């Protein structure tokens, strides 16, 4: 393919500004693949046409761009995906589920009485509570599941349902790990959560319905006092 690109350019030489076109990569002398930008300029001489090429290593800039992207989709307090990251990464999982004709599992988790914890112990302790729940959730899920801090004291989990992994299996695992966490970590507050679950197809129109359904189920659980 690279030979074809060179041959096509030789047949129709033209100025190529630095950074134009697709992302390009080159091999560093130590064998690493690095991102580069290339400018090309045809030059007519008495000996025929020459091509002036300039190559610039943009590894540092690419790393900074990747870091900024990561920050833009990451919740600062918990290190989980934020809402924007969930929509972006969750969209990829939904596409996979659609191709596999698999059902989606959506779980909404809400921390019980976070306001009361903030009022009694201060916001730094409330932040610790949020981090505790984030840690429990992170350790309860599969690598393929998408977990985010949806906002405030709410979290969302998105995964694909299978014969072995059903919504109830995921919820039971979360509840078990939360109980284990409370047993082995002394906290000045009572750590409990309310959970709502929904499942359905990964279609775009149905996804918003799943979020609303999980939110309703979570609210019912909170009102009934059936928290973990």
Q: Per residue in 13-32, pLDDT tens?
A: 777 777 666 777 888 888 88
Question: In terms of DSSP H, where are the helices of the chain?
Answer: 2-11, 59-72, 83-100, 114-121, 123-138, 167-184, 204-224
Higher pLDDT, 177 or 222: 177
- Greatest Cα-to-Cα distance within the chain, rounded to the nearest angstrom: 88
Res 37: pLDDT: 81
Rg (CA), the chain: 25
Q: Which of 75, 110, 153, 215 is catalytic?
A: 153
Torsions phi, psi for 103 (to 5 deg): -80, 150
What percentage of the chain reaches a pLDDT higher than 70? 84
Q: What is the pTM of this model?
A: 0.70
pLDDT score at 65:
64
Q: pLDDT tens digit string along 151-203?
A: 899 999 999 887 676 788 889 999 999 999 999 998 999 899 999 999 888 77
| From 53-62, 65-74, 190-199, 201-210, the region with the lowest mean pLDDT | 65-74
Report the percent of the chain where pLDDT is more than 90.
39
Active site residue 172: no
Distance, C-alpha 212 to centroid of its chain = 21
Phi/psi for 54 (5° steps) reads -125, 130
pLDDT value of position 82: 93
Whether pLDDT at 10 is above 90: no
Q: What is the mean pLDDT of residues 103-107?
A: 90
């Amino acid at each position: 393919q690279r030979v074809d690109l060179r041959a096509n350019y030789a047949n129709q030489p033209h100025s190529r500004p630095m950074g134009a076109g697709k992302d390009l990569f080159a091999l560093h002398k130590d064998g690493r693949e690095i991102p580069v930008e290339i400018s090309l300029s045809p030059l007519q001489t008495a000996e025929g046409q020459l091509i002036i090429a300039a190559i610039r290593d943009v590894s540092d800039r690419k790393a900074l761009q990747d870091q900024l992207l990561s920050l833009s989709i990451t919740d600062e307090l918990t290190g989980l995906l934020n809402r924007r990251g969930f929509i972006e990464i969750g969209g990829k999982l939904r596409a996979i589920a659609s191709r596999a004709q698999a059902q989606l599992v959506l779980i909404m988790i809400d921390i019980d009485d976070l306001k009361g914890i903030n009022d009694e112990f201060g916001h730094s302790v409330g932040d610790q509570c949020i981090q505790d729940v984030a840690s429990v959730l992170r350790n309860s899920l599969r690598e393929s599941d998408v977990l985010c801090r949806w906002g405030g004291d709410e979290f969302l989990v998105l995964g694909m349902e299978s014969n072995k992994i059903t919504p109830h299996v995921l919820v039971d695992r979360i509840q078990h790990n939360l109980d284990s966490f409370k047993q082995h970590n002394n906290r000045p507050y009572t750590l409990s959560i309310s959970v709502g679950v929904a499942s359905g197809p990964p279609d775009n129109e149905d996804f918003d319905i799943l979020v609303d359904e999980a939110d309703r189920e979570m609210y019912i659980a909170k009102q009934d006092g059936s928290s973990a």
